[in-house]
Amino acid sequence: MFGLYTSAFGDLTWGNIVMLLIAGLLIYLGIARKMEPLLLVPIGFGVLLINLPLGGLMEFVDGEPIGLLARVFQGGITTELIPAFIFLGLGALTDFGPLIANPKTLILGAGAQFGVFFAFLVALLIGNAFPDFLAIGVKEAAAIGIIGGADGPTTVYLTNRLAPDLIGVTAVAAYTYMALVPIIQPPIIRLLTTKKERAIYMKPQMKPVSRRQKILFPVVTAVIIILLVPRSAPLIGMFMFGNLLVVSGVTDRLADTAANAFMNVLTILLGLSIGAFMSAEAFLKADSLVVLGLGVVAFSTSTAAGVLLAKLMNVFSKEKINPMIGAAGLSAVPMASRVVQRMGQQANPRNFLLMHAMGPNIAGVIGTATAAGVFLGILG
C-alpha cells in the first residue's frame, strides 16, 4: 500500500553540484562581499533550491504551474508584472534633480547605450558564424545586448518577451555584473583617461531645481519617450509614475510604500524566481557561457563609450566636464556613480563628482528602458 521512501541524494548530478557551487558563490558575494545583497542572495538561494532534485518547485503540468516558484514565475515574470512594478519602485527611489540641473548629461546616458547595440551585433555575428553550435538568433542577440545597460528589471522584461529560454542566464549576468561594477569599470576608465583628465574639477554646487520642474519632468518625459518609442510604455510609464508620487508632495504614503515595502516584496519574488530558472539543464550549456562572456563585452563597451563621448563633448565645450562621469551612463544606480566619485577624489581630493555622475547614471536607466522599447518595437 505504501511505496518505499527514497531520498534525492541518488538523483544529484554533476551538473546539480556545479550549480550548487555557483549558488554558494552568489550567496557569498552578496553576504561576505556585500555585492548587491538584496538581489544576489535571493537569486543564489533560488539557484540552490532548483538544483536540489525532486523538490518540484518549478514543476509544470500540461503547461500549468504546480510548484511554488513556478507559480511565482508564471504570475510575476511571464506576465511581466514584477519587472514593470519594480520600475515603479525605482522611480520612487530616484531623484531627477541632477539630470534636470545639467541636461547635457542626458547625452552621456544615451551614449553609454552603445554597448547594448554593440553586444547585440557581436552576439548576432557569433550566432550566424556558428549556427550548429549556438542557438543565437536576432531575438536572443537583443536579449544579450540589453545586459550592457546594467539594468536587471529591463533585462528580465525584454528577455521574457524575446528569448525566454535565456532569462535565467541574462538576469544573473546583468545583476552579477552590476555588483561587479567597482571591479570592471576602474581599469577601463584608467585606460581611456589621463590622470590630468581624471583630476578635472567640477564645482559641487549645481543650479537649483524648482519643485515645478521636478513635477513636470516625469510627466513630460513619459509623454515624449512613449510617443517616440511606444513599446517602452510599461517600463518608462511606471518609472515616471513612481517618481511623480515622490515629487508631487501629496502622495507621501504611496511613495513610501512603492519605495520600501512594495519594492522589497517584488525584489524577493524576482530574485527567487529568476534563480529558480537556473537549473543545471538550462544553465550549463554553450549558449549560457557565451551570454556571460558577451555580458562583460557589453558592460565594458558601455563604459568605454560613455567616457569617450564625455571626452568628445569637452572638445566643443568651454566648461570642461570630468570624462569619468560618462562611465556612469550605465543604469547601475548608484554603483557607477560611486565608482566615479571614488576615482575622482583619488585624482583630485577637492573633487566631489557624485551628484554630477548621478545625472548620466539616471539617464542610463531611461536610455536602457528606451533601448528595450526599440528592440520590442522591431522584434517583439
Could you identify the residue written with the cell 517602452?
Answer: 232
Q: What is the pLDDT of residue 242?
A: 98
Domain count, the chain: 1
Q: What is the pLDDT of residue 9?
A: 87
Q: What is the pLDDT of residue 333?
A: 83
Q: What is the pLDDT of residue 57?
A: 92
CB count in 10 Å sphere of residue 84: 19
Cell numbers describing residue 300: 565594458
Which of 14-28, 110-124, 282-296 shows the lowest mean pLDDT across its residues? 282-296
pLDDT at 238 > cutoff 60: yes
Q: What is the pLDDT of residue 4?
A: 65
Q: What crossing angle do the helices spanning 354-379 and 211-228 adopt, rounded to 10°?
A: 20
pLDDT at 102 > cutoff 60: yes
Q: What is the pLDDT of residue 33?
A: 87
Task: Return the closest-CA partner of residue 269 out of 75, 22, 79.
Answer: 75
Cα distance between residue 172 and residue 35, in whole Å: 13
Query: Looking at the domain assignment, is residue 203 inside a domain?
Result: yes
Task: Return the closest-CA partner of residue 302 out of 153, 134, 174.
Answer: 174
Mean pLDDT value across residues 20-39: 91
Query: Looking at the domain assignment, is residue 38 inside a domain?
Result: no
Q: What is the pLDDT of residue 169?
A: 87
Query: Looking at the domain assignment, is residue 140 inside a domain?
Result: yes
Cα distance between residue 28 and residue 294, in whole Å: 24
Query: Looking at the domain assignment, is residue 21 inside a domain?
Result: no
Task: Return the closest-CA partner of residue 100 out of 249, 220, 228.
Answer: 220
Q: How many residues does the chain have?
A: 380
Task: Return the closest-CA partner of residue 243 out of 84, 90, 364.
Answer: 90
Mean pLDDT in the chain? Answer: 91
Query: Looking at the domain assignment, is residue 343 inside a domain?
Result: yes
pLDDT per residue as tens digits for the range 185-219: 999 999 999 999 999 999 886 788 999 999 999 99
Query: Looking at the domain assignment, is residue 26 inside a domain?
Result: no
Q: What is the pLDDT of residue 5?
A: 63
pLDDT at 245 > cutoff 90: yes
Three-state SS at 99 = helix
Task: Return the closest-CA partner of residue 273 out of 102, 111, 95, 67.
Answer: 67
Q: What is the pLDDT of residue 82?
A: 94
pLDDT at 356 > cutoff 60: yes
Residue 123 and residue 146 in contact, taking contact as beta carbons nearer than 8 Å = no
pLDDT per residue as tens digits for the range 145-168: 999 888 889 999 999 999 998 988
Q: What is the pLDDT of residue 133?
A: 79
* 314 burial level (CB within 10 Å; 0-12, 13-18, 19+): middle
pLDDT at 131 > cutoff 70: yes
pLDDT at 15 > cutoff 50: yes
CB count in 10 Å sphere of residue 13: 13
Query: Looking at the domain assignment, is residue 134 inside a domain?
Result: yes
Q: What is the pLDDT of residue 299?
A: 87
pLDDT at 354 > cutoff 50: yes
Q: What crossing angle do the helices spanning 81-93 and 252-259 adopt, rounded to 10°?
A: 120
Cα distance between residue 250 and residue 158, in whole Å: 33
Residues 6+ apart with CB under 8 A from 280: 13, 15, 16, 18, 19, 51
Which of residues 172 and 322 earns the better pLDDT score?
322
| Distance set, CA 131 to CA 123, 135, 136, 144, 158 (Å) | 12, 6, 8, 16, 23
Residue 194 and residue 320 in contact, taking contact as beta carbons nearer than 8 Å = no
pLDDT-derived band at 1, boundaries 50, 70, 90 = very low
* Eight-state DSSP code of residue 331: S
Q: What is the pTM of this model?
A: 0.91
The bridge status of strand 64-65 relative to strand 60-61 is antiparallel
Query: Looking at the domain assignment, is residue 79 inside a domain?
Result: no
Q: What is the pLDDT of residue 267?
A: 93
Cα distance between residue 188 and residue 303, in whole Å: 7
pLDDT per residue as tens digits for the range 268-294: 999 998 888 889 988 888 888 888 888
With residue 65 as reference, give the H or E element that holds it.
Answer: strand 64-65
Mean pLDDT value across residues 235-258: 97
Question: Which phi and psi angles does 65 have, rounded to 5°?
Answer: -70, 130
| Domain extent at residue 244 | 87-270+284-379
Cell numbers describing residue 15: 551538473
Mean pLDDT value across residues 117-146: 91
* Eight-state DSSP code of residue 78: I
Residue 225 and residue 58 in contact, taking contact as beta carbons nearer than 8 Å = no
Does the CA dihedral 36-41-46-52 come out positive or negative? positive
C-alpha R_g of the chain: 21
